[in-house]
Structure 1
Amino acid sequence: MSLILGAVLLDALLGDPVYRLHPVRLLGGWIARCERALFARGLDGYLGGVLHWLLVVGGALVAWWGVRFGLAALYPPLALGWDLFIAYSLLCTRDLLEHGRRVLAPLAAGDLPGARAQLAMLVGRDVEPLGVDGVTRATIESLSENLTDGVLTPLWALCLFGVPGLVVVKAVSSLDSMVGYRNERYRRFGWAGARSDDLVHWLPARLSPLVVALAAVLLREHPGLALRAAWRYHALLPSPNSGWSEAACAGALRVRLIGPVWSGGRLVTDRFLGDPTWPAALSAVDLRRALRLLGWSSVVALAFGLGLAALG
């Protein structure tokens, strides 16, 4: 319990500093090296992808345990400090909210180009065609979509399975972000990473509407709409998991999301997520509401996770 609270407190106070030897960056480098080695040997299909998964996830666990074992042999409290450092490094709630605040600051100041520039660091779509409403919707979409894989799953994995569970979840998520694409290179090789990512987030995604609804109760928003919107609109997104939290946030805020999305100069979709009577002309006020909702959702998730840890 103290490890969980310590890691969450450090994340809230310090955030996620960028430095060369950050555990996630080291993990990304290991993923790339293993991929190159397997491709060089012609293992670029399903078998290579499974071997890649085993090397990455197994390597991450061995690295954590190996350092821990060595520190424990030197001085046992050092092993506890190592666990706290790894847990803190792999939680990223503050980082998620900070991304939203970086868009909010120029948006609230009327600096649309600055808001677009900050949004471009969050999303892969074209940001140039977006007005204030489009920037706001895209930011809320990205933050709410990442509530599950960026906050709920890692936190609950730590609460239920300790640091090893958190390490596995982050390794799987990193694999999906680097090789889980349906293109010619990764369609087969990235299959194991993508499907395992779907699996680890499956239950947290479906619990996310309840978390968002409870946060909406605390903020006097729209908890009933959060649950109804999640059930009704989650399938509008191609991912089997991300639509649940995004639709729940849309309902809790009683706003429409998505709308016209451009990628590579081409209109990908102009479909909205949410009831047609809900507003889609959003502004900095709505983004501020969304950040509060996501912040309190994280608090609710922590309370739920601590309860699970206590029962365990």
Structure 2
Amino acid sequence: MLYTLFDLLLVLFLAHLMDFIYPYHTGPLFLIHPVHTSYVMAVKLGKPFSSKAKGAIVWILVISAHILAYFFLIYFSSLIHRALLIVISAYILKTSFSLRLLFDIVGKTSVCLKNGDLECARFLVQQIVRRDVKKLQEQHLASAAIESLAESLVDGYISPLFLFIFLGPLGALFQRVANTLDSALGYKDPPFRDVGWFSARADTAVNYVPARLASLFIALASPAAGGSIGVAFKTIKKEHGRTESFNAGYPMSAMAGALGVRLEKIGCYTINNSARWPGWQDIVRALKVAKLAVFLWLAVSLGAILVIKSI
């Protein structure tokens, strides 16, 4: 099924409008959200201590089930009315990224830290990071929030739009489900090390280009926080390999350079070690950088869609 240029632009606009109006999914909409359904499937099928082969089969089954289900949803909606096709497609794209929720959590974290309420900040940060934050102090809470903001720009926005440009709503959905499978199974500890291996590698492959694009746009957006584009690029070049992840180090080092701060996950990595520790003010600055980076990427995405549809 082919979308016209107007269709794609309208889908993109409506998806962003939906994300702004309804960032939190609750009730029935939560139960049918592809992140929820794919996570539940992955956990039920990907039993702890399963083999790598089992993990690959689980990945294929979960991906296939979701792509087929939403393909038929798109197909049958197109038979009913073009307007329904647009709305359904926009909803699928909306479930593939989550900007307002991310910005809200990170923004509220800065308020909690400004007020000296570490428990409040820990509660919020725990929603967007895997690490245990119960004992983290202000500088590491601020670091975790900034790290997650930078990394989430990749899998929570730039990557789904990247695949949307070339493959439409189902491409964005594929990225979101692949990322969820990594979140559900891609752990390093023994129970999930083998069964989650394929999901982790697939997520790395899917986000490989978007992660590097994210670092580019974060660096270009660094003046929004009073930073230097040149310094941001130098930091990326020097620090991107500090993380174990092939992808995470790019957006995080770009944000560290843009803000001129040190980012650290205790016992795992330190980025921009010679810089100062971040505080709540730097979270506010990071949000400014992230919002400008989003705007720049959206502008490029629109341009790419125009070029592709004109060929």
Please indicate, yes or no, whether the TM-score normalized by the shorter chain is above 0.5. yes
Residue in structure 2 matched with residue 285 of structure 1 by the alignment? 281
Letter of the structure 2 residue corresponding to residue 142 of structure 1: S
**Matched residues in 2 for 1:181 and 1:138: separation?**
19
* 8 A contact 2:53–2:195 mirrored in 1: yes
Residues 206-228 of structure 1: CA distance to partner in whole angstroms, max 9, x if unpaired? 22221012212455422111111
Residues 237-295 of structure 1: CA distance to partner in whole angstroms, max 9, x if unpaired? 11000000000000011111116x2xxxxxx25x631151x221x32111110111111
Please, what is the CA RMSD of the aligned residues? 2.1
**Matched residues in 1 for 2:87 and 2:134: separation?**
45
Aligned partner of 2:22 among 10, 14, 21: 14
- Alignment length (residue pairs): 297
Is 1:143 paired with 2:154? no
* 8 A contact 2:97–2:157 mirrored in 1: yes
Residue in structure 1 matched with residue 77 of structure 2 by the alignment? 71
Q: Residues 1-312 of structure 1 correspond to what in structure 2 (within 5 A)?
A: 1-18=9-26, 19-35=30-46, 44-258=50-264, 261=266, 268-269=267-268, 272-274=270-272, 276=274, 278-280=275-277, 282-312=278-308
**Matched residues in 2 for 1:218 and 1:124: separation?**
28
Between 1:22-31 and 1:172-181, the stretch displaced more is 22-31
SS at match of 2:304: helix
| Cα deviation, residue 5, structure 1 | 2.2
* 8 A contact 2:221–2:289 mirrored in 1: yes
Note closer, same or farther for the CA distance 1:107–1:2 as it changes in structure 2 (3 Å cut). Answer: same
With normalisation by structure 2, the TM-score equals: 0.88
Letter of the structure 1 residue corresponding to residue 38 of structure 2: L
SS at match of 1:90: coil
Gaps of 5+ in 1: 262-267
**Matched residues in 2 for 1:14 and 1:209: separation?**
28
Identity of matched residues, %: 27
Letter of the structure 1 residue corresponding to residue 41 of structure 2: W
* 8 A contact 2:55–2:195 mirrored in 1: yes
Note closer, same or farther for the CA distance 1:197–1:118 as it changes in structure 2 (3 Å cut). Answer: same
Gaps of 5+ in 2: 1-8
SS at match of 2:19: helix
* Ranges of 4+ aligned residues in structure 1 off by more than 6 Å: none
SS at match of 2:95: helix
**Matched residues in 2 for 1:48 and 1:128: separation?**
34
